[in-house]
Amino acid sequence: MIRAFCGGDKHAFDDLVKKHQDKAFNLCYWFLGDYHEANDICQEIFIKVYQSLHRFRFESAFSTWLYRVTVNRCKNRVDSLEYRYKKWMGRLDGVKEPHDQDAFELADQSDSPLRELENKEQNRLIRKAINTLPTDKKTVVLLRDIEGLSYEEIGRVTGLKVGTIKSKLFRARLALRKKIIGLG
Amino acid sequence: MKCADIEKHLSAYIDDELDAPIRLQVANHLSECRHCSEILESLEGVASIMGAQTTVHAPADFLDKLHERIQTESSLKKFFRRLFVPFKIKIPLEFATTAALCFLIFFVVNTSQQIKEVSLPVSKSAPVESAEKRAPKTDTELLIKDEAKSEPVMYKAMPQPAPVRRKVTIELVFLMPPKGLDHFRRGASSEMEVAAEYDKQVVPVVKSKQHHEPSQLKALPLSSGNVPADTAVGRYGSEPEKMRLSEETILKKESLATVSFAEDIVTRVKVLVAQVDGIILSVDDDDQTGSPRSLQVEIPASVYEYFIQQLHQIADFQTPPFEKFSTNPETIRMIIRFVRDSAQ
* pLDDT one-digit tens code per residue, B181-236: 555 444 444 444 444 444 444 433 333 344 444 343 333 343 444 444 443 333 33
Q: Under a CB-based contact definition with an 8 Å cutoff, are residues B229 and B260 in contact?
A: no
pLDDT score of B109 more than 80: yes
pLDDT score of A70 more than 90: yes
Please judge whether B57 and A146 are an interchain contact, meaning their C-beta atoms are less than 8 angstroms apart. Answer: no
For A126, which of B39, B49, B73 is closest by C-beta distance? B49
**Number of Cβ pairs closer than 8 Å across A and B?**
113
pLDDT tier at B136 (50, 70, 90 boundaries)?
very low
Among A114-123, B65-74, B97-106, the least confident range: A114-123
B84-101 average pLDDT score:
71
Kindly state whether A131 is in contact with chain B, defined as any CB-CB distance less than 8 angstroms: no
Q: What is the CA radius of gyration of chain B?
A: 48
pLDDT tier at B250 (50, 70, 90 boundaries)?
very low
Q: Under a CB-based contact definition with an 8 Å cutoff, are residues A94 and A123 in contact?
A: yes
Average pLDDT, chain A: 80
Q: Which amino acid is at A7?
A: G
For chain A, how many helices (H) and strands (E)? 9, 0
- Residue B200 has a pLDDT of 47
For B73, which of A47, A104, A184 is closest by C-beta distance? A47
pLDDT score of A146 more than 60: yes
- Residue A119 has a pLDDT of 74
For A123, which of B53, B57, B73 is closest by C-beta distance? B53
pLDDT score of B153 more than 60: no
B288-297 average pLDDT score:
82
pLDDT tier at A150 (50, 70, 90 boundaries)?
very high
Task: Give me the percent of chain A exceeding a pLDDT of 90.
Answer: 34
pLDDT score of A28 more than 90: yes
- From chain B, the residues in CB contact with A35 under 8 A are 56
Total Cβ atoms within 10 A of residue A157: 24
B118-127 average pLDDT score:
51
Please judge whether B56 and A105 are an interchain contact, meaning their C-beta atoms are less than 8 angstroms apart. Answer: yes
Q: Which residue of A has its CA nearest to B46?
A: A177
Torsion sign (Cα): B203, B207, B211, B215:
positive
From CA A109, how far away is CA B44, in angstroms rounded? 26
From CA A86, how far away is CA A89, in angstroms rounded? 5
pLDDT score of A90 more than 80: no
- From chain A, the residues in CB contact with B45 under 8 A are 177, 181, 184
Task: Give me the percent of chain B exceeding a pLDDT of 70.
Answer: 53
For residue B136, give the nearest of B166, B173, B169 by alpha carbon: B169
Question: How far B63 CA lies from chain A's nearest CA (Å)?
Answer: 7
Kindly compute the dihedral angle of the four CA atoms of residues B124, B129, B134, B139, in this order, to the nearest 10 degrees: 60
Contacts 24+ apart (CB under 8 A), B219-223: B220/B270, B220/B271, B220/B274, B221/B195, B222/B195, B222/B198, B222/B267, B222/B270, B222/B271, B223/B191, B223/B192, B223/B194, B223/B195, B223/B267
Whole-prediction pTM value?
A: 0.48
Please judge whether B58 and A50 are an interchain contact, meaning their C-beta atoms are less than 8 angstroms apart. Answer: no
Q: Which of 62-121 (A) contact B at CB < 8 A?
A: 103-108, 119
Question: How far B93 CA lies from chain A's nearest CA (Å)?
Answer: 18
Q: Which residue of B has its CA nearest to A180?
A: B46
For residue B272, give the nearest of B202, B173, B192 by alpha carbon: B202
**Is ipTM beyond 0.90?**
no
Please judge whether A148 and B51 are an interchain contact, meaning their C-beta atoms are less than 8 angstroms apart. Answer: yes
Alpha helices of chain B — where are they, by DSSP H? 3-14, 20-32, 34-52, 62-84, 93-118, 191-201, 240-252, 261-275, 304-314
Please judge whether B66 and A47 are an interchain contact, meaning their C-beta atoms are less than 8 angstroms apart. Answer: yes
For chain A, how long is the longest CA-to-CA vector? 53
From CA B251, how far away is CA B200, in angstroms rounded? 16
- From chain A, the residues in CB contact with B56 under 8 A are 22, 25-26, 29-30, 35, 38, 104-107
- Residue B188 has a pLDDT of 40
Q: Which residue of A has its CA nearest to B71?
A: A47
Q: Which residue of A has its CA nearest to B49?
A: A184
Please judge whether B50 and A167 are an interchain contact, meaning their C-beta atoms are less than 8 angstroms apart. Answer: no
Q: Under a CB-based contact definition with an 8 Å cutoff, are residues B139 and B169 in contact?
A: yes
For B70, which of A25, A47, A146 is closest by C-beta distance? A47
Greater pLDDT, B214 or B76: B76
Q: Under a CB-based contact definition with an 8 Å cutoff, are residues A62 and A159 in contact?
A: no
Kindly state whether B4 is in contact with chain A, defined as any CB-CB distance less than 8 angstroms: no
Residue pLDDT, tens place only, B254-269? 444 555 667 788 888 8
Kindly state whether A17 is in contact with chain B, defined as any CB-CB distance less than 8 angstroms: yes
Q: Which of 288-307 (B) contact A at CB < 8 A?
A: none
Q: Which of 143-162 (A) contact B at CB < 8 A?
A: 144-146, 148, 150-151, 162
